[in-house]
Amino acid sequence: MSNFTIATVWRDHGLKPWRTETFKFSTDPQLEAKIHDVVGLYLHPPEQAVVLCVDEKSQIQALDRTAPILPLRPGLAERRTHDYVRHGTTTLFAALEVATGKVTDRCFDRHRHIEFLAFCKQVAKAYPRRELHIVLDNYGTHKHPRVRAWLERNPRIHLHFTPTSASWMNLVEIFFGIITRQAIRRGTFTSVADLIRAIRIFIDAWNQRCQPFQWTKTPEQILTKPCVEPLR
């Protein structure tokens, strides 16, 4: 059979064998309860409360090229050297307010419970005297005894955990994808401080034009799927 015949069969049946995707089943014993809890916050947030999605984007590299980038020109793509100089890394902590799209951020050298707790305190100060519902994943630092002790002293703050292997339910992951594409991936940074400066400039501009994040899937629609997969 010719290549043309095979390509025609693929096209007629909507087959694209060169494409592959991945998925992962969640084995969380509280899968259904957590989905109802998190999605309920998105679709029906409590009155007079703020719903925030929190996570950390770790190991963001401050990469500099060994030669200047050759800019885009008519008929030529932007070109850069394949090798680079690595000046260090930073971890971006971010809290996305679902109702507005506003992001509260802070960069740390590491992402232990110490840094997470410091960021939680920053978020609490940013929303004084407001009930806060925070959606986050099951990373161990989020459940550290010192974090739990601080929460007991601050009963207006409530944590809601996504199911395991379901980080796509945390809307701040969408923001991380946006900042990666628009500010980090194609950037060149001469130092970690330069990288952090670029992150802050982007987030400041983001907060001036941000819009609400809207969740559209009900818990029932998610649970009827054969597996837990990214659903926006």
| pLDDT per residue as tens digits for the range 58-88 | 999 998 888 888 888 898 888 888 888 899 9
Look up the pTM and report it. 0.84
CB of 133 closer than 8 Å to CB of 160? yes
pLDDT of 208 reads: 96
Homologous superfamily of 27-223 in CATH? Answer: Ribonuclease H-like superfamily/Ribonuclease H (3.30.420.10)
pLDDT tens digits, residue range 92-135? 999 999 999 999 999 999 999 999 999 999 999 999 999 999 99
Length of the chain: 232
161, two tokens: 């955990």
Token pair belonging to 98: 């679902």
Mean pLDDT (the chain, rounded): 91
Query: Domain residue spans in the chain?
Result: 27-223
In this predicted structure, what is the pLDDT of residue 65?
83
Q: Given pLDDT bands bounded at 50, 70 and 90, which one contains residue 229?
A: very low
Confidence of residue 228 (pLDDT cuts 50, 70, 90): very low
The pLDDT value given to residue 167: 87
Whole-number pLDDT of residue 13? 95
**What is the bridge-based pairing of β-strands 49-65 and 103-108?**
unpaired
60, 90 Cβ separation under 8 angstroms: yes
Tell me which residue of 26, 149, 167, 173 sits closest to 96, measured CA to CA.
173
Pick the more confident residue, 9 or 21: 9
User: What average pLDDT does this structure show over 190-194?
Assistant: 95
Query: Within 10 A of 64 (CB to CB), how many other CB atoms are there?
Result: 16
| Residues of the chain above pLDDT 90, percent | 74
SS3 string of 86-108? EEEEEEEEEEEECCCCCEEEEEE
**Beta bridge mates, 64:** 85
Q: Is the pLDDT of residue 191 over 80?
A: yes
Rg of the chain, C-alpha, whole Å: 21
- Position 171 pLDDT exceeds 60: yes
Closest to 93 (Cα-Cα) out of 76, 77, 111 = 111
Tracing tokens 């992150």 back to the chain, one arrives at 199
Which spans in the chain are helix H?
3-12, 31-43, 113-126, 145-153, 172-179, 192-209, 219-223
